[in-house]
Chains A and B, each alone.
Chain A
Amino acid sequence: MQQPFVLEHKTGHICGRFYAMASPCELLIDTDDMLVAQQLVALAYQETKRIEQKFSRYLPDNIVHQINSAEGNPVAIDDETFKLLSFADTCYQISQGMFDITSGVLRKAWRFDGSDKLPDDSLVQDLMPFIGWQKIHFDQHQLRMPKGYELDFGGIGKEYAVDKVAQVCLQAQPTISILINFGGDIQITRARDGQQPWVIGIENPLNQDKAVKTLSLYHGGMATSGDSRRYLLKNGERYSHILNPHTGYPVKNAPRSVTVIAEHCIQAGLLATLALLQGEQAEAFLKQQQVQHWCMR
């Protein structure tokens, strides 16, 4: 059987690539041992597919599908799902409801395809009663959600996968530095030897054809949230795909893209998303958090 990933020798490291979670996935491995690299990329691929299959709302017969089709009945959950729900709960609390994993239902009204087709307001208003994390009740063993509600881990799934892959790789090879990059969501397992950075290219979301900007990373994680392709444009006004769960409408005056550096990829990803939700005040918010960041407007 053909391998689902490719490996390539680069200067001073090996690069492994595969495609998962609707994104190009890349591992930069600080070794010249092809066998070690192959084992790591295989592990990474396995872990990524496991998470994708478990938490993607597009796939049938997984836990998310069970929850979303339970019609008000309790659903048994495992420890990993409980931890993700607890994380989502913290995000909801600290953002005062702006980060809400039940708001994915709004995609039934909003299609961010670059066109000028705004949804009918009535359509948006019809969906509003089905948004509200506070209506979800869960403990370590089960979850109960009102009928018509939907959970969507899309806002944290990829970052979570990056962090989990980093963990798996670190456990397998604790002495090798590995950079995991899933379409701009990045985690480094440990610093490289000799204070050498990993140099990565990040694309300019405003001009994807243009050459990338390079960045030196030593350790920790990085994530980017933005709407390079996912937006609507009507009468010169740009509607970002970041929706305010309180109104059902896109957040106004949000930066087009926010990149944040933090210890963990998922932490960086949430900071970037919360910054976008701040709209005009995104930069002020990030400055207050004292994290390294870049905003593009």
Chain B
Amino acid sequence: MQLTQNKNISHALLAASCTLLGVTPVAQAAGNSEDGWKIDTALLLYSEQDRVSAVESVIAASKDFGDQHIFSGKLVIDTLTGSSASGAVPQDKVQTFTRPSGNGQYQIEANTLPLDDTFHDTRVQLNAQWTQPVMENTRVSSGVHFSKEYDYLSLAVNASLARDFNNKNTTVSAGFSYANDTIDPEGGRPVGFSGMVINQGQFSSEDAYKNAFDLTRQDGSDTKSTLDLMFGLTQTINRRMIMQLNYGFSKVDGYLTDPFKVLSVVDQSGTSVNTLYENRPDNRTKHNIFVQGKYAFDSGVADVSYRFATDDWDIDSHTVDSKFRFNLSDNSYLQPHVRFYQQSAANFYQPFLTQADPLPAFATADYRLGEMTAFTLGLKYGMTLESGNELAFRVEYYQQNPKNNGTPLPGQLQQQDLFPSVKALMAQVSYSF
């Protein structure tokens, strides 16, 4: 038989097989073991009230090349715009600050928390991961990560080994990742605790201002390295339940200061007399323990996890996360999400510096390193389309509630809200095919 006449043999055989077996042919071809690429796409909108908003698009692709040789890759592009708290305290009069680049100023109205509005950036992230079995019941996985922002470059490698025991009911894994980040902010990195130079007409020329500003800056870029070690244990309890226990260790060395954050120096009346750039230690060691349980009901899945993290900056945190998936039908589900988070303040966190006290070795007023609680409430609706592709919608409300870590507030600061809540809304659409 000639090949040109062969084209419909497969279909003719399908029809003949169905006649022989007395069944109706299924229109869809048998997608099977080594399916083509599986693609996940998602678009996320994140908006904090009066602050940062972000648009994030994700495209992830994975392919099983057979024998559990799996490649997965991910591209994330996000665009951030808006303002973030600079660390300075609100005052009863208008305040003027120099932009982080040194080019220009911004003013903050009276009784308003200072937000730095120059915050906008585009970040591109790329991940690639390869996983394959190495011997019976053992898999290795390794990957690379690349992330680039305007003033930030991160490169990372990772590798892990997982081995199944006990008829695959127990999986033990160990892994590491190593990242090297380079930070090169526009205008240079501030000298720790140097005073913000604000041009209020005291300079004879623009050059004189520029010289004064440059004295508060360090040349060139700086780096940060992060080593993570992870150990995991996954145990199948029964047909419906699976438990996971992870321990993570993380060691960060290098430039850990946020070049955009400052502290106000206040006098006895709570009036700001100076603004200093923050200064953080150049290393941090973290430990975390994570426990997760998943239980499959007849009509859904419950997923509850708890994480405890502690570090040598004295930030201890607790996270409880729970998701409950309710299957509405064979091809749609509803998934509420509740997350609660609590952390203690870093030992060098203080909402401001006082003129009377000597400078500490390190200090930050970044509320993200202060005492706080946060919660997330979310709802996701997912459905499987007739084509077999999946479409899901997710909305979440997120609120951070920073707290005073016991610092007495002098004078006018008692009338100010130094710890306002940050409220954010997230909406996501995702599609997998």
Contacts and interface: CB of A to CB of B under 8 A. Distances in A.
Nearest to B169: A11
Given A213-B67, A271-B9, A284-B3, A87 B31 contact: no
Contacts of A91: 13, 16
A11 B31 contact: no
Nearest to A156: B20
A271 B9 CA distance: 8
A214 B68 contact: yes
B33 A160 contact: no
Contacts, number: 111
A238 B339 CA distance: 67
Interface residues of B, number: 35
A7 B413 CA distance: 77
Interface string A1-21: 000000000111000000000
B16 A262 contact: no
A59 interface: no
B30 A271 contact: no
Of A11, A94, A219, which is in contact with the most chain B CB atoms at under 10 Å from its CB? A94
Interface string A120-139: 00000000000000000000
A84 B20 contact: yes
Given A83-B20, A215-B67, A261 B33 contact: yes
B30 to A, nearest CB: 4
B356 interface: no
Interface stretch (A38-46, A172-180, A285-293): A285-293
Interface string A209-235: 000011111111100000000000000
Contact of A266 (B17, B22, B30, B64): B17
A250 to B, nearest CB: 17
Contacts of B19: 83, 86-87
B13 A94 contact: yes
Interface in B41-87: 64, 66-68
Interface of A: 10-12, 32, 83-84, 86-87, 90-91, 94-96, 98, 160, 163-164, 167, 194, 197, 213-221, 261-264, 266-267, 270-271, 274, 278, 281, 284-285, 288-292
Given A263-B14, A288-B6, A289-B10, 12 more contacts: A86-B19, A96-B1, A213-B66, A214-B68, A261-B32, A262-B14, A264-B14, A264-B17, A271-B9, A271-B13, A285-B3, A285-B6
